[in-house]
Each structure stands twice: as C-alpha cells, then as structure tokens.
Amino acid sequence: MLRILIVSFFICLFQGTGFTQNGLFVHRNIRNAYDKGTRSFDGKPGANYWQNKAQYTIEASLDPKKRMLKGHETVVYFNNSPDTLKIIRLKLTHDLYKKGGQRDAEVDPEDVDDGTKIENLRINGRTIGEKEQRRFATFLDVLLKNNPLAPKSSIQLEVNWSYTIPADPNATRECRCDPSTYFVPYFYPQIAVYDDLQGWANTPYNGLQEFYNDFSDYDLTITVPKSYMVWATGEWQNPLEILEPATFEKWNKAHLSESVMSVFTEADLKNGGVFKKSKQHVFRYKASNVPDVTFACSDHYNWDARSVVVDDLTGRRTFVSAVYATDAKDFYKVADIAARGIRLMSTWLPGYPFPYPCETVVHGNDGMEYPMMVNDYSLGDRDPTGLTAHEVAHTYFPFMMGVNEQRYAWMDEGWASFFDHFLEDSLNNTSNNALRNYSAVAGRDYDVPPMTQSQFLNGRAYGIASYDRPQSAYVVLLDLLGYEKFHACMRVYMDRWKGKHPQPYDFFYTWNDASGQSLDWFWKPWFFEWGYPDLGIQGVVKNEAANCFVITIERKGTLPIPVWLTIVYADGTKETVHKTAEIWKDGKANIKINAATGKTISEIKLGNRNVPDSNSKDNSWKP
C-alpha cells in the first residue's frame, strides 16, 4: 500500500509540473488530450482518440475568360467527437483577397475584391439567414442555435458560391498561369478541423501558413470550355466520355508504362483529335480519405505520363503526370523525375509505400503541394529535381500524416526538406547537395525554437523554424540512429498516425518508443530551446607515453551534432573518425580523440556537408 501511495505521489508531481516522466514540457491545453485519453505518452493514438470527417459532392465551373469560378456543394459532416457542436466553421480561403483582409504579403490591388460570394446556404434543407452566419477573416461560422450537432451524429450542408480568380500571374496559390491556364486550389467552402486539442481550428489563412484539414471523401465535377483539359485530385472517372479512342488508349497504356509517354502535345490539341466533340467538357474525379482537393486546367498544355510500382508486396502502382507549356524546358524531365522520386520514397526515404494512386506536377507559378497535385514554377535551364522531389514528398507530410502545418510547419516542411536533400543526390547520382543554409543563420535572434507556433512567425523566422533547422535536426537524427533504426521508427510513426492528426508530442513519444530509448536529450535543444550548432578543434597535443597525437574537439554550441573528423598524416594516409551526436548526450563540453600511433599529423578537418556548424573557422588545423 505504501508503495502505491509513493508511486501515485510522483505521478501527481510530474503531472502538476506540466512535464511527463520523460522530461518534455507539455503545454496545458495539449496535456488535456492525455488526461482525456485521446493521446498517450507512448506515442500511440489514445483509447479515446477520434476525428471528424466529411463527404463532399462538389459541382464547379470555370469561365477562363472571365476568371469566374462558380460552385455548388453538398457536404455530409460527421461529428465523431464527444462534444455537442454549436457551430459549423467553414473556411473561405479566397477571402484572402477580400478588402481589409490580413495578408502575409502584398497582392495586386486590382485583385482585391469582396471575397467569396455565398448564396443559398442550407443546413439539413433549412435556409440559413444572415443572422445565423458570422463571417470573419477567412472563416464563416454557421450558428446552430436551435439544432446543435450532437455527438456521433451528422449534418448536411449545402451552399452555392462564386468568386473571381486573381488576374495577377504571380498571385500565390490561386494561379492564372497564363490567359488560358489555371491552377485552382482552395476553391470551395471547406469545413475546418474540429479536434481534441483546440476545438475548432482558428488560424486564418494569410497566404503563408498552409494545411490543416480533416480526411474526407470527394466526388468532384468540373465544367470547362470544350477545348480544355482538367487535372485534379483523385482518379479520373470519365475519360471515355471526353477523349477520342486513340488518346484514351495512350492515357490507358501510360498507367502501366515504366517509361514516359506523351498522352498529348500542344500540337495534338491544335490539330484536333484529342477530345470528342461537345459543347463543353465535364470532368469527374473521385478521391477517398484525402485532406483536400484542387484542380488545374489548360487548352494548350502538353501531358506526359508514366507509371511506377510503389508497393512491391501488392504490385500497386501510382500514375505520374507532368503537364506543362511547350516553352518550359525543364518540364520535359519532370514526369520521370517525379516517378523515380516516388519509387525512392516508397522503398528508401521515408521507405513507406506512396499512399496515392496518382500524382500530377503542373507547370504553374509556385512551389506548392496539394493532395495528388503539385504547382511548380519552371526553372528554365536549371535542374528541377530538388523542387520536384520536395513538393511530391509532401504527399507523406501533411497529406498522409495530417499534421497541423498552421501551428507546426516543421512537421511537414522539415521532412520534405530532409527528403529532397537525399533524394536529389540519389536521383542525380551525385553527393554534392548541401543542406539548407542553417549554419549561417543558427543562433541569431530570428532563429526561434521550432515549437514556437508557425502562425506567430513570418519572414526569415518562419523559414528557419519550418525548413532549415528541422531539416538539420532530422539529418542529425538519421546519423544518430542509423538507417535501419531510423527507418523502423519512421514506419512505426506512419503506421500509427497515417490518416490521423499527429501533433509534436505524438512524434516525439513515438520515436522514443520505437527506438527503445529516450531521445528527449535530443528533442529539447533542437525543438524547444534557443541555441545553435558549433564544434571546433580546441587543440592538438602529443601524448608521449602512447606515442600518438590527441585531438580535443570542443562543443561550443548547444545543439548536439555529430563529429566527423578527417585526419591527414604526413605519410599521405587518411583516417576518418565519426561520433554520432550521442557523444554529447551527457552534456560534456569536449571530447578527446587519439590519432594513429606513431604517425605525424599534417592536417585535420572537422565536419562534412551533412553537419550544420555555425563557425567553420575553427574546423581545420595544421601544425
């Protein structure tokens, strides 16, 4: 009995301080999820974990000349939470362009308008008047005053809407790439996430922070003029209704082709014979359990495609496309780069089968990912491998793994940066792709700990916390664990949280659990604390008794990084010494490394391309 009381006392003590037994500070609101059993300290979804879902039936049309998008949708929303919902929150992302909108960057004044026009909003068949609507920022709250949505029940929402797509070809995200080519994301009223951590998501869209969406099912219909092709999230349902038999045969054959095929070219479109004759084109796409849908359309883009096996056990394939203007010199390579990259992602890093049946990289004006779709600008004569790999890698984070990028962008941008770093070298058979420039900015006042919420950041601070620092952390983590254990941890993390909403502690605790060790000594400095990475050669002395030189490596910075030491001897031989970041686990300030017995050192170099180091001036030594 006494032992039970003592254990209970220490459990209460840890809970009261806001720390778990393994030492990471847990914010009070996130702590609530553990108390309620929706999350667990071993990193698994809790016994009471839940998430909501919706089924969307969307009918949209685009008039390219007027830049007018109109739509009607029916949404069945399932409340799987234990809470009674008194509102339904819609995201109206185009309201970024609304007069008075909060924007991370300036937009063309000519594109500022009245935002999304909402008409005929209905809940369960009942028209919702203006008094039952509350519109703010990029949200529309539908008040359910008399008929709240009970737990374990559903509601049907219907809405008609319209807006004008920005004319500026450099407009971010919503892109009129040229007068007859569009990339159209965020185009429909979408129900925001209601989760176990904060209730309704409340970060307005300002053009910078990106995804946090529930996993839902979509039946999407897009109507465009008769000369236009539409590519969209999901699998194309009606190609036989639109394509001539010869074009359909090429499209169909590309689904099994290991080499790139041309489905059609700009010349084919001009010459006719690609599409069946009709007054307009009505495309239908379906996607299941995805966090969003988007589409692109053009009347002159080329379409290349091929297929790739993503799961050797089942033989499952992904259909990979690149669609682009004829003058985009780099895009002729993109379909093959994307397919080979997807193969490497499926088998090596992250080493998890690509989750979607198709992926389309569109020549647009951005470097931006969407489920099964990518909007990439043309790099001209430069190599598109890194950009392509980065955006396609986002399929895992935040799409398969539904992280909250609005709060913790490092949970997806950091991983995409990690993947593109290694994938670019592998795809190009090189070993010269350096890390992002974290070494140059680490420790400055805009290098904030990544656990600082992304919605509070912009500019350099956002980029460093989201891309640079976490990329370096993940690279150091790979070196620390070694590929086999790293890959095993990644698979456990993905198995547990695919199709769900992991937050940072689910990541930290899962990797602790899967690796069989507490990595809190690593997580804390890299993600929670101010600091920078910096090692230096402190000194070299002769140990006469051992007849060897002793090299002292000093840890000057607070972020643990590996030691890579190249020792060049006077006889022309070289020795490489490697110590993982674990060498600093106990907080020591320096380590000593013995050189080869009986040899004289002519030069020492510290570090390599995969080790961030804020000051390289003390990374070399000569006698």
Q: What is the pLDDT of residues 191-228, one digit of tens each?
A: 999 999 999 999 999 988 889 999 999 999 999 999 99
Measured distance CA(443)–CA(559) in Å, rounded: 10
| CB 496, CB 512: distance < 8 Å | no
What is the pLDDT confidence band of residue 2, given thresholds at 50, 70 and 90? very low
Q: Quote the CA–CA distance of 616 and 603 in Å, as a whole number.
A: 15
Using one digit for the tens of pLDDT, what is the confidence trace for 392-402? 999 999 999 99
Q: 141 in a domain, yes or no?
A: yes
Domain range for residue 446?
428-528
Distances, alpha carbon 256 to alpha carbons 245, 260, 319, 333, in Å = 18, 10, 8, 19
Q: Which of 528, 547, 578 is the endpoint of a domain?
A: 528
What are the C-alpha distances in Å from 432 to residues 292, 425, 477, 489, 575? 36, 7, 20, 27, 21
DSSP code string of 409-446 = GGGTHHHHHHHHHHHHHHHHT-S--PPPSHHHHTTSTT
| Separation between Cα atoms, residue 16 and residue 43, nearest integer Å | 20
Average per-residue pLDDT for the chain: 94
Helix (H, G, I), strand (E, B) or coil at 239: helix
CA distance 506 to 26: 11
Within a domain: 223: no
Length of the chain, in residues: 623
- Where does the pLDDT of residue 504 fall: very low under 50, low under 70, confident under 90, or very high at 90 and above? very high
The Cα–Cα gap between 369 and 353 comes to 18
What pLDDT does 101 receive? 86
pLDDT value at 3 more than 70? no
Q: Are residues 445 and 379 in the same domain?
A: no
Token pair in block for residue 111: 């594109």
Q: Look up residue 47 and give its amino acid.
A: A
> Are 201 and 58 within one domain?
yes
Q: Are residues 173 and 298 in the same domain?
A: no
∠ CA(263), CA(266), CA(269), 5° rounding?
A: 80
Q: How many domains does the chain have?
A: 4
- Residue 2 domain flag: no
Let me know whether 500 and 375 are in one domain.
Answer: no
Indicate if 520 and 578 belong to the same structural domain.
Answer: no
Per-residue pLDDT tens digits for 296-307: 999 999 999 999
Which of residues 353, 386, 402 is at a domain's end?
Answer: 402
Does this model's pTM top 0.85? My answer is yes
Residue-level pLDDT at 102? 86
Please check whether residue 310 lies inside any domain of the structure: yes
Check residue 175 and give its pLDDT. Answer: 85
Last residue of a domain, one of 361, 384, 402: 402
How is 542-608 classified by DSSP, letter by letter? EETTTTEEEEEEEE-SSS---EEEEEEETTS-EEEEEE-GGGGTT--SEEEEE--TT--EEEEEE--
Which range (433-437, 489-493, 588-592) has the least confidence?
Answer: 433-437
- Of 497, 501, 558, 225, residue with least CA distance to 352: 497
- Residue 173 pLDDT more than 90? no
What percent of the chain shows pLDDT beyond 70?
Answer: 96
In a domain? residue 391:
yes
